Structure 1
Amino acid sequence: MTVWLEAALNGPWGRDRQPGIPVTADEIVADALDAAAAGAAVVHFHAYDERTGRQRDDYEIYAPIIERIRARVDVVCCPTIPFAGSGDAAEPLSPAARFAAVEKLLEAGLIEWSVVDPGSVNISLADDVAQGREGFVYANPESHVRYGLALAAGHRMTPSYAIYEPGFLRLGAALHRASPGVPQPVYRFMFTEQFTFGLPPREWALQTYLRLLRDEAPGAPWMVAGLGVEIEPLIGAAVRAGGHVRVGLEDAPLGCPTGNRELVERAARLIADAGGGLATAAEVRAG
């Protein structure tokens, strides 16, 4: 079994919640190169405004970072879109505005994958709930998902579907069936321990998603991932079931003391222990 290993380098957290994330362009490039050297074939990251230390999804930030990475290593680079509803994207945006940077990156030939999350969900930390602090609604109206899938069809881009709840899988599969010409999405099962959405990182939960995937999108590629989660105990089961793996400081428990390179190295060892081999970027592209 050849396993795709993705490194999610930073996420939307800022250093106040995840102190070890790369924020500056130099830091993101360095972590991406380290992750590739450790075995990652896919690198996912959020662009940051270096002045404020907050996420800012601008082509002018993404493009030079991706160009520097691609000049050094062959990896699939996967950007994100504004985390609608969060403090960095609190105001409603049109579909075109949310995907503006992605569209420019596609036109420049810099990316092959991008986030197209098929659903909306409450993002709340369990500790915050207990202390009376509210989370936010990560909003992805159907019109936004359809817009992202139209871009995927036009540019032969692979949609990266984050599956926060089972309904995301069902809607994502239905929209893919209704969208001729869209490449096969990758279904990324988002487990969690620190947040209150979705399912915990347990084998029964993985089997639940796999049973639903067989009904809705048989044969589609999938991977284990999450937010605020220790995913390593699930890696062996995922590999043996024919899946792929995402790790990194975006997904790790908040306050994680471990860097991205070590997280990728540990995942690579667990994949090998389960009988898997690491895919190259060329093998990921070939499906």
Structure 2
Amino acid sequence: MAVWIEAALNGPWTRARQPLIPITVEEIVAEGIACAEAGAAIIHLHAFDPATGRQRDDADIYAAIIEGIRQKVDAIVYPTLPFVQSAEAFAPGAAEARYRAVEGLGERGLLEWGVVDPGTINLATFGEIAEGGLGSVYANPGAHIRRGLDLAALHGYVPSYAIYEPGFLRLGAAMAKAVPGCPAPLYRFMFSDVFTYGFPPAPYALDAYLALLADAAPGAPWMAAGLGVDIRPLIPDIVARGGHVRVGLEDAPFGTTTGNVARVEEAVRLVGAAGGRIAGPAEVREALRAAG
């Protein structure tokens, strides 16, 4: 079994929540290269404004990172989207504005994958709820999903679906089928130990998603990941069921002292111990072409 490993380098957390994340272009490029050399075929990242330490979705910054990594290693490198959590998501032109950086990268021929999250959720931790907090809303209206899929069809990039809830899978499969020329999506099941959405990282949850995937998108490639999660105990089950693995500081428990490269190295070891072998980026690309 050829297993793909994705390294999610930073996420939107800032160093207040995840102190080890790379922030500057140079830091992100260096960690992306090191993770690829350690066995990650896929590198996912968020761009930041170094002055504020907050996410900044700018096509030029993303291009510098993507090109910087690809100059040294062969890897599938792809960016995120702006996080939307208010009624502004429904304003005229909001979908186009949200995908502006992605569109710019597509026009430059720099995208192989792109984030499309097919659904909206309440995003809260168990700790927040216990303290009387309400969390936030992660908004992905239908117009935003369709915009991402239309751009995927236009520029030929693979939609990387984050499946936070079962309904995300059903909606994402239906919408991808409705867009002529859209490449087959990658379904990434998002587990969590910390957040209240979806499932915990347990074999029964994996089986539930796989049963639904078999109905909605038979044969589609899939990966296990999450937020605030330790995915390591689930890796033998993932490999046994024919899936792929994402690790990295975007997904890891907050405040971890284990960095991206060490997490990739450990995933490589655990995949091997479970009887899998690590796929390179060329093999990932070929498998996706065959899927779609």
TM-score w.r.t. length of structure 1 = 0.97
Deviation at 1:135, TM superposition (A): 1.2
Paired with 2:25 and 2:196, the residues of 1 have a C-alpha distance of 32
Paired with 1:193 and 1:200, the residues of 2 have a C-alpha distance of 6
Paired with 2:42 and 2:30, the residues of 1 have a C-alpha distance of 15
Deviation at 1:259, TM superposition (A): 0.3
Q: Is 1:223 the equivalent of 2:215?
A: no
Deviation at 1:25, TM superposition (A): 0.8
Deviation at 1:91, TM superposition (A): 4.6
Paired with 2:107 and 2:4, the residues of 1 have a C-alpha distance of 25
Q: What SS does structure 2 have at the residue aligned with 1:180?
A: coil
Identity level (%): 61
Letter aligned with residue 107 of structure 2:
E
Paired with 1:127 and 1:240, the residues of 2 have a C-alpha distance of 33
Structure 2's unaligned 5+ residue stretches are 288-292
Paired with 1:123 and 1:72, the residues of 2 have a C-alpha distance of 37
The aligned residue for residue 63 of structure 2 is 63
Q: Please list every run of at least 4 consecutive aligned residues from structure 1 whose deviation after the TM superposition is greater than 6 angstroms.
A: none
CA contact (8 A) 2:162 2:187 kept: yes
Query: Residues 127-170 of structure 1: CA distance to partner in whole angstroms, max 9, x if unpaired?
Result: 01111222111000011101100001111110000000000000
The aligned residue for residue 6 of structure 1 is 6
Query: Residues 170-216 of structure 1: CA distance to partner in whole angstroms, max 9, x if unpaired?
Result: 00011111112111100000000001000000000000000000000
The aligned residue for residue 45 of structure 1 is 45
Paired with 1:74 and 1:82, the residues of 2 have a C-alpha distance of 26
Counterpart mapping for 1:186-225 below 5 A: 186-225=186-225
Paired with 1:78 and 1:255, the residues of 2 have a C-alpha distance of 24
The aligned residue for residue 264 of structure 2 is 264
The aligned residue for residue 72 of structure 1 is 72
TM-score w.r.t. length of structure 2 = 0.95
Q: Is 1:21 the equivalent of 2:21?
A: yes
The aligned residue for residue 180 of structure 2 is 180
Letter aligned with residue 40 of structure 2:
A
Q: Is 1:233 the equivalent of 2:240?
A: no
CA contact (8 A) 2:109 2:155 kept: no
Paired with 1:134 and 1:26, the residues of 2 have a C-alpha distance of 36
Paired with 2:236 and 2:34, the residues of 1 have a C-alpha distance of 23
Deviation at 1:109, TM superposition (A): 1.2
Paired with 1:254 and 1:268, the residues of 2 have a C-alpha distance of 22
Letter aligned with residue 32 of structure 2:
A
Q: What SS does structure 1 have at the residue aligned with 2:15?
A: coil
Letter aligned with residue 281 of structure 2:
A
Question: Number of matched residues?
Answer: 284
Letter aligned with residue 205 of structure 2:
A
Letter aligned with residue 256 of structure 1:
T
CA contact (8 A) 2:46 2:80 kept: yes
RMSD of aligned alpha carbons: 1.1
Q: What SS does structure 2 have at the residue aligned with 1:251?
A: coil
Paired with 2:52 and 2:60, the residues of 1 have a C-alpha distance of 16
Letter aligned with residue 275 of structure 2:
G
The aligned residue for residue 290 of structure 2 is none
Paired with 2:266 and 2:25, the residues of 1 have a C-alpha distance of 25
Letter aligned with residue 181 of structure 1:
G
Paired with 2:33 and 2:231, the residues of 1 have a C-alpha distance of 22
Paired with 1:19 and 1:85, the residues of 2 have a C-alpha distance of 24
Structure 1's unaligned 5+ residue stretches are none
Paired with 2:23 and 2:85, the residues of 1 have a C-alpha distance of 21
